[in-house]
Structure 1
Amino acid sequence: MNTLITGHHLELTPAIRNYVEGKLERITRHFDKVVEIEVILSVDTLPQKEMRQRAEVNLRLKGDTLHAEDTAQDLYAAIDGMIEKLDRQVLKVKGKIQDHRQESAKRMEDLTPTEE
């Protein structure tokens, strides 16, 4: 699994990097078929002189790509919101995969009609 964490208009400190990696461990515990994780942390400046912290992630799975993003006044709050959204998406994909599995022939009930 490749993890890429980048910062746009933001100095990426080791504390921020460790925080993001710690939060991403939660995702990889739920789902082990992750190929690549790309996290982009940025600061957007708005005309009203309001600073907005933005966190977005692209999670490449085997055969699928998930995207989540969140904005907040605090970078750590934006990261937490992004991880919550991504966690819900991963659990949904995992549930679809598990529901799609076929019952084994040994465990299926005999569906042949009985003659009376």
Structure 2
Amino acid sequence: MNLNISGHHLDLTPPLREYVTSKLKRIERHFDHLINADVILSVEKLRHKAEATVHASGADLHAEAVVEADMYAAIDSLIDKLDQQTRKHKEKLRHHHVKTAVKRTLQ
């Protein structure tokens, strides 16, 4: 998976890059067909914002998280949202044909 991390009004330190990379591996564990991900980390006043767009086969997933505490909490919240979206997308792909087969047998 290609990963692009950028920061707005924020210095991207190596530990911050490592943290984002390690957290995105959790999403890759659930869904293997990820093409690339664009992560934008920004700070406006005291609001830490993390947003990401993940291009997967069959869908583009987007999530953002705004937290007052710190950037690591915003990244955690973002990854939780993306994880939920990837699991939902994977379930749709898996059970798509099962529902149509059940409908055909009931008719």
- d(CA) in 2 for partners of 1:10 and 1:99? 42
The normalised TM-score by structure 2 is 0.88
Structure 1 partner of 2:36:
36
Structure 1 partner of 2:12:
12
How far residue 100 of structure 1 moved from its aligned partner, in angstroms, is 1.3
Greater relative CO (CA pairs within 8 A, separation 6+): 2
Cα deviation code 1:1-40 (max 9, x no counterpart): 2100000000000000000000000000000110110000
Cα deviation code 1:19-71 (max 9, x no counterpart): 000000000000011011000000012xxxxx110000000011310000001
Structure 2 partner of 1:86:
82
**How large is the Cα RMSD of the aligned pairs?**
1.7
Unaligned runs of 5+ in 2: 99-104
- d(CA) in 2 for partners of 1:34 and 1:99? 19
- The farther-off stretch of 30-39 and 93-102 is 93-102
Structure 1 partner of 2:25:
25
- d(CA) in 1 for partners of 2:75 and 2:39? 10
1:59 equivalent in alignment to 2:83: no
1:69 equivalent in alignment to 2:64: yes
The structure carrying a bigger helix percent of its residues is: 2
- d(CA) in 1 for partners of 2:97 and 2:28? 21
Q: Secondary structure at the match of 2:84?
A: helix
- d(CA) in 2 for partners of 1:64 and 1:20? 21
**Structure of larger gyration radius:** 1
| Equivalenced residues, count | 100
Structure 1 runs (4+) deviating above 6 angstroms are none
